[in-house]
Amino acid sequence: MNAMIVGGAGFVGSHLVDRLLADGEAVDVVDDLSTGSLANLADARSAGGTLKIHHFDAGGPDTASLIGMRSPDVVYHLAAIPRGRPAPAELARAFSATMALVEAARDHHVDKVVVALPASALYGRPAARDLPLKERPLEPRGVRGVISRATVDLLTTYREHDALEFTALALTSVYGPRQRPEGGVVAAFAAAAAERRAPTITGDGRQTRDFLYVDDAVDALVRAGTRGSGLVVNVGTGEQTSLRELWAAMTGSIGSEPEFAEPDDDEVARFAVSPIRARIHLSWSPWTELSDGLARLR
């Protein structure tokens, strides 16, 4: 199988590259390196195998030409939604790039597009009684959520009218090696612990998240390459961990107390997703316990 990974020099993307190369697949990485880094692909580049890296914008004509030339079986789109609080113009550019990518996939008869989306942006502010969330009707939170839902609608339209298959994975808080401190709370806490300083937590630290180890997320992505067509599939553990509990797990009794700041207006109080649909349609379940995943960061 030939695969193209848009955003393949990023945190999750580079781990997906490692996995596909280990499986004997040919891989093309498309990344503008605005947030990714070639250092993330150092192991993949030194290991040999069929890896080609292309430094250009996913929404530009070079990507369409590359798809036509390389004829990938699957396009993994891991750069659909920028992290953090991107400006509206940045989100507009990202969605425009997604449209161009999907057009090129349709024109060149790609078998499938797999896109990664932020679960917390897709599902609004769920009530605690509804957790862990199943794949209910999407209720986007903020502009990132609107663009995430628009991406699902776009892919659904192309599937219905052009027979372009897709799977949209709603990922929870992915963590693991190579993640930058600004890339997620686990990485931020790991950096604080390494520097022996207290992290700053917005709110009271009782907010919960569903932490998913990167190898587990990558396994779901690989399985989605041939399964779960036409679906939004939640990828998470179903378990809630508060930020206070996370910091304690990472530092034990020697850790200093976190510092607390004013709560974020956009903060979600509690969050976790159900992996039941993933189990049924992807034959996937998470296997890495949080304690084991955290131990691999040391």
What's residue 253's pLDDT?
A: 57
What are the pLDDT digits (tens) for 65-113?
999 999 999 999 999 999 878 888 999 999 999 999 999 999 999 999 9
Which residue from 143, 21, 14 is spatially nearest to 87, judged by alpha carbons? 143
Superfamily of domain 178-208+240-269: UDP-galactose 4-epimerase, domain 1 (3.90.25.10)
Same fold, 2-174+211-237+274-287 and 178-208+240-269: no
Average pLDDT score over the chain = 94
Global pTM reads 0.96
* Whole-number percent of the chain with pLDDT over 70: 99
What's residue 285's pLDDT?
A: 98
Task: Give residue 176's pLDDT band: very low, low, confident or very high (50, 70, 90).
Answer: very high
Residue ranges per structural domain of the chain: 2-174+211-237+274-287, 178-208+240-269
Residue 86 C-alpha from the chain's centroid: 16
Topology adopted by domain 2-174+211-237+274-287: Rossmann fold (3.40.50)
| C-beta of residue 172 within 8 angstroms of C-beta of residue 237 | yes
Among 32-36, 61-65, 79-83, 270-274, the range with the most confident prediction by mean pLDDT is 270-274
pLDDT at 272 over 70: yes
* Whole-number percent of the chain with pLDDT over 90: 85
Contacts of 219 (CB under 8 A, 6+ apart): 19, 284
What's residue 274's pLDDT?
A: 98
User: 139 φ, ψ to 5°?
Assistant: -130, 80
